[in-house]
Copies of this chain bind each other. A is one copy, B any other.
Amino acid sequence: MDLDIEFQAGVTLRRQLEDALRVAIRSGRLAPGSVLPPSRDLADELGVSRGVVVDSYSQLATEGYLSAKRGSGTRVALLPTSGSPLRHRQVSRPQRFRYDLRPGQADFHAFPRAGWKAALARALRELPDRRLSYGEHRGARELRTAMAEYLARMRGVVVDPGHVVVCCAASHALTMLWHVIGSRGGRRVAIEDPGWRWQRFTVEHAGLEAVPVRVDADGLVVSELAAADVDAVVMTPAHHYPTGVVMSAERRSALIAWARERQALIVEDDYDVEYRFGREPMASLQGMAPDLVAFVGTTSKTLAPALRLAWLVPPSDLIDDVENVLLVTGVSPPTLDQVALARFIEDAALERHLRSMRRLYRAKRDVLLGALDHYLPEVRISGAAAGLHLLAWLPDGTDERATAVRARDSGVGTHELHRHCHTRAPSPAALLLGFALPSESDLVAAARLLADAVC
């Protein structure tokens, strides 16, 4: 019998023989129906005791690989054979750029490893054994308490710790909210146009219809929202993604009035409001109407996307339904990580980190602004007062896509504005330029290469 087997130390002979037999059967080398050698013969051939072979045959018979009938020996079972071999697929790797100015990325080089390690170690040391079992669905008590205090202080969010929900990502929060909206009969959700593509992705994932609504210089156009016949809207009022527009007071009031009259849900994605370089950020919309607004935040821009830690403050009439989604899907960040973040906030380590990041990002922004002014005086800049990217509006008649491709070919990663538009091509053309990740000298080099690409 052609068995591909070389016995090795550390694993039982029986185990190795079983594995070899399974492989041979699966691969077809041992054809269905074929008779296996008597156990004594195979034992002799392999130089193992007969018991090893008998046990292996028996185990594989139990599993259905072999069938043994008294008198007719042991045969390979008539397995319903595999239709096709496994497709071997290369694991995809993200695209890399020499100068990565794509928006949406924080500077991962600045992650506070030592502080995070200390917070993790403390959490691991202090967490009672019982807390290693299943945790509370809404999240670890410590983190919900720390987060409620932090959000009230920093963002004017009105929330009791019991109503903070810890989740894995802003998109996770949206996914849960759309599920709840859909289960209550909702069908249509307004998204920003232009806007973050995950607004659309998550809405459609939940089987709802995404309805793009225009954003102008005052924020989302509420009159168009009112005409859109939707059950909810997701938006970035404090700092619109990707244009950087701040929603005006009139629009905020009109939005809330609309939602109250229609009993619609407003989802406020507060994705990067920590980074403002001029006046302080608007307080959250949630603080003005906690019964209508679900507030969403994340550590992806403040600490690191790899942490997969975010939070959601839903209106109180949705909290039980959201908790049920968490219960059913079993999806939460690890308790240890949650408690570590709580310690990190309580010790003011998060605020210290943010202060230093604001300095770092402001300096990088200023370098990029200076370099653009020098190399590309013809582009108009907007959206530079806050956040981690700015918009460079290209001269009239410039081909946005061709420019971005030329930039890419020279090693500079950017996003064309149209990638974030749902219904309209933007006019004039614009590129989104993130400045958080590259070094200051790389930002200058990238600006020079961009000038060549725009030509």
- A interface, CB within 8 angstroms of B: 11, 15, 18-19, 22, 26, 59, 61-65, 67, 77-80, 82-84, 86-94, 105, 108-109, 111, 113, 116-117, 120-121, 124, 127, 129-136, 138, 141, 144, 153, 156, 158-163, 168-172, 175, 179, 198, 201-202, 205, 207, 246, 248-250, 252-253, 256-257, 260, 279-280, 282-283, 287-292, 300, 304-309, 316-317, 319, 325, 327-337
Q: Which residues of B contact A327 (CB under 8 A)?
A: 201
Known: A205-B328, A257-B80, A334-B337. A91 touches B136 (CB 8 A): yes
Return the contact of A131 from the options B172, B256, B306 (Cβ within 8 A): B306
**A330-B249 in contact (CB<8A):** no
A141 engages B83 (CB within 8 Å): no
What is the chain B residue whose CB lies nearest that of A339?
B306
Residue of B nearest to A283 (CB): B63
Complex CA gap A130/B109 in Å reads 7
Asked whether, in the complex, the Cβ of A64 is within 8 Å of the Cβ of B161, the reply is no
Pick the residue among B79, B138, B317 that contacts A256 (CB under 8 A): B79
Cα-based distance from A88 to B316 in the complex (angstroms): 8
B156–A129 CB distance below 8 A: no
Residue of B nearest to A86 (CB): B316
Distance in angstroms between the alpha carbons of A341 and B326 in the assembled complex: 23
Question: Once the chains bind, are B132 and A172 in contact (CB under 8 Å)?
Answer: no
Q: How many copies does the complex hold?
A: 2
- Bound complex: CA A337 to CA B308 (Å): 11
Q: How far is the CB of A432 from chain B (nearest CB, A)?
A: 17
Q: Assuming the A-B contacts A61-B249, A334-B308, A334-B337, are A202 and B290 also in contact, with contact meaning beta carbons closer than 8 angstroms in the complex?
A: no
Q: Nearest Cβ distance between residue A116 and chain B, in whole angstroms?
A: 7
Residue of B nearest to A59 (CB): B280
CA distance A288 to B86 in the complex (A): 12
Minimum Cβ distance to chain B for residue A51 (Å)? 13
Task: Find chain B residues with CB under 8 A from A305 CB.
Answer: 132-135
Q: Which of these, B108, B290, B300, B308, contacts A333 with CB under 8 Å?
A: B308
Contact B172 A252 (CB under 8 A): no
Q: Specify which chain B residues have a CB less than 8 angstroms from the CB of A330 in the assembled complex.
A: 168-172, 175, 198, 308
Please tell me if the beta carbons of A77 and B170 are within 8 angstroms of each other in the complex: no
Nearest CB in chain B to that of A170: its residue: B330
* With contact pairs A329-B175, A331-B169 given, residues A92 and B136 touching in the complex (Cβ less than 8 Å): yes
> Can you give 11 contacting A-B residue pairs, CB < 8 Å?
A62-B246, A86-B316, A91-B162, A116-B124, A117-B121, A134-B306, A168-B332, A169-B330, A170-B330, A306-B336, A331-B331
Cα(A148)–Cα(B67), bound, Å: 28
Contact: A288 with B172, CB < 8 Å? no
Residue in A65, A161, A330 whose Cβ sees the most chain B Cβ within 10 Å: A330
Residue of B26, B87, B113, B120 touching A158 (CB-CB under 8 A): B26
Chain B residues whose CB sits within 8 angstroms of the CB of A163 once the complex forms: 86, 89
- Since A59-B282, A308-B334, A334-B334 are in contact, a sample of 18 more A-B pairs with Cβ atoms closer than 8 Å, ordered by chain A residue number, is A19-B153, A59-B280, A62-B246, A63-B288, A67-B249, A86-B158, A88-B162, A89-B162, A91-B138, A109-B129, A111-B132, A120-B124, A134-B305, A171-B329, A175-B331, A198-B328, A308-B330, A337-B337
Residues of B within 8 A of A67 (CB): 249
